[in-house]
Chains A and B, each alone.
Chain A
Amino acid sequence: MNAPGTAPVSDRRSPVTRLLVFGGIALILSGMLLGEVFAIFISHAASAQIRREWIGSMIPAIEQRDLAAASTDYGRIEELLERRGRIMDTHSHLIAYGFLAIVLALLQPLNKYSERVRLALALCIVAGGLIQSVSVFVSYWTTPPVRDAILIASAAGGTLVLVGVLGTIAGLRGISSRSNFNAQTSRLLSSASSQILLRIGALLILAGMVFGFYYAWVFVTQHEPQQISLLHSALQAAVSRNNTAATSSITAHRSLQSKIAIVTAAHSHVIEMGTMAVLLGFVQNFVLLSDRWKRRWAILFCIGGGVMPICTYSASIFGLVPAGFADTFGIMSIIALFAMLCGLVRQTGADELGYAP
């Protein structure tokens, strides 16, 4: 067992910490890339197709009271929504598990368990997160009974992550109050790039919280009741064979659903980019790049992370042009994150060769 809380700085470069930091950033990077691919190539086309299905097939089928035709049309809509749901779930879970892995990496010096046990717990987090997310993603392209097996694997992945978290809680129990952990944390955050990421990240999280509070009020008082009332109007109009009114209501319903999805994405992305910035602030010491380049990547990440959610929100008002900007700024953050990951790999190599700073 470690002497709790007294691990030297070099312990932060132990295999367990490396696995969690490297695994965490890799999970986040994969999640961000998937999000970009979804936003650029899939989301808009799928939304337009769902709207076409509703207007071109569903409404006429309801008007004709043709349940069989309506069922077939609905099957196509559900297929599109299924793909969206699986990709979005994979995107958000990969990133959330990445965050968890990096935070747990920072707590490793306080874990009283042996390196072997900590390595097993770290594997639970990284492998569990990967298994859960990949299973959710792959399940879309499979059919029963393979699909059932994959969904069980997804649950098993989630359970592994839970085991990793509970094991870490147990490992942190009874640690000494007198430790140099805080001094090490201060040292980790002492560089200019860390300070930039820490400050901007904290402010982004706060901005996301305030925006979320505002939007929750709008959602509960306006958007949620509107959704149902538009659906009601559409169904009433379809049943009474008023095609124009039904089409207009269903178009408004689809637009509102898109708006809710976009605004919710803006809210969650601000907080996620903020959280990521703070976490990256902690790992700057692991990044083997010059201070000047670390600062540049930190600034690039913060610009991308700060502007991307604003553009995402603007897309709910102005349409596709700001959405394109959101994608561009998202890519900026991904490039910065990838650069930091390269620095991490260099640091690992330098550690192994024995000339790490």
Chain B
Amino acid sequence: MSSWQRTLTAAALWLIATGIVVGLGHAAAVRYNTLPVLQSRVYWTAAELALQNDAQQAIEVAENKSYTLTRIVDAHTHIIKLATVLLLVALVYPLINLPEKRKRTLSIALLTGICVFPLGVVAEIYVRGRSAQAIAAAGAMLVILAFAGLIWGLLRGSAARL
């Protein structure tokens, strides 16, 4: 295993560990309630407030809480799933039939995207508006383009081996 493969493997495992820590922390913070229940409670709170003739405040509370919960769970799942994909890339790295420099550039882009995307999703909680969404979208796009490039090399490699 090359040193770059080792770096990718270690980075992926650290990301998985981070995702697990985020999941454990979030689960404890919400007292082990599940997302559908938490979101439903948000809507119930809105209904209760509406009964007290304050529908506008109710909606704002519901909107904020639902928005935050969705993003935390999204960040948790995406870190772990994308890190698993990164681990797979690290394993098949020698089979990717591309020049070493291009392979490395693509894998750096993939790693960067995998780190930026969940950070952008979490940033959306604190920075409302297009800027945080743009960061998340840029991270996701980086992941897609880099992974597409690596797959192209992998398919070329496997075609050459057959």
Chain B 128-162 residues near chain A, CB threshold 8 A: 133, 136-137, 140-141, 143-144, 147-148, 151, 154-155, 158, 161-162
Q: Which chain A residue has the least Cβ–Cβ distance from B136? A: A216
Beyond A172-B6, A177-B2, A220-B133, whether A238 also contacts B151 by CB under 8 A is no
Across-interface contacts of B1 in A (CB, < 8 A): 5, 110, 175, 177, 179, 181-182
Across-interface contacts of B137 in A (CB, < 8 A): 213, 216-217
Looking at chain B's contact residues, the main secondary structure is: helix
Distance, CA A231 to CA B161, complexed state (A): 57
Across-interface contacts of B17 in A (CB, < 8 A): 162, 165-166, 169
- Cβ-defined contact, A199 with B158, below 8 A: yes
Among B34, B62, B155, which residue has its beta carbon within 8 angstroms of that of A231?
B62
Q: Mark A80-111, 1 if CB is under 8 A from B, else 0.
A: 01101110110010001001100100110010
Distance, CA A195 to CA B81, complexed state (A): 22
Across-interface contacts of A205 in B (CB, < 8 A): 85, 147
- Taking each of B14, B36, B48, B62, which has the highest tally of chain A beta carbons within 10 Å of its own beta carbon? B36
- Cβ-defined contact, B91 with A185, below 8 A: yes
Q: Does A275 contact B (CB under 8 A)?
A: yes
A225 to chain B, nearest CB (A): 9
Report the interface size class on chain B. Answer: 35 or more
Looking at chain A's contact residues, the main secondary structure is: helix
Among A103, A151, A216, which residue has its beta carbon within 8 angstroms of that of B87?
A103
- Taking each of A85, A212, A236, which has the highest tally of chain B beta carbons within 10 Å of its own beta carbon? A85
Q: Does B20 contact A (CB under 8 A)?
A: yes
Using a CB–CB distance below 8 Å, which chain B residues touch chain A? Answer: 1-3, 5-6, 9-10, 13-14, 16-17, 20-21, 23-24, 27-28, 32-37, 40-41, 43-44, 46-48, 50-51, 53, 55, 58-59, 62-63, 66-67, 70, 77, 80-81, 84-85, 87-88, 91-92, 94-95, 133, 136-137, 140-141, 143-144, 147-148, 151, 154-155, 158, 161-162
9 A-B pairs within 8 Å (CB atoms) are namely A62-B50, A70-B51, A74-B44, A85-B35, A159-B24, A162-B21, A185-B91, A212-B140, A238-B47
Using a CB–CB distance below 8 Å, which chain A residues touch chain B? Answer: 5, 58, 62, 65, 67, 70, 74, 77-78, 81-82, 84-86, 88-89, 92, 96, 99-100, 103, 106-107, 110, 139, 151, 154-155, 158-159, 161-162, 165-166, 168-169, 172-173, 175, 177, 179, 181-182, 185-186, 189-190, 195, 198-199, 202-203, 205-206, 209-210, 212-213, 216-217, 220, 224, 227-228, 231-232, 235-236, 238-239, 268, 271-272, 275, 278-279, 282
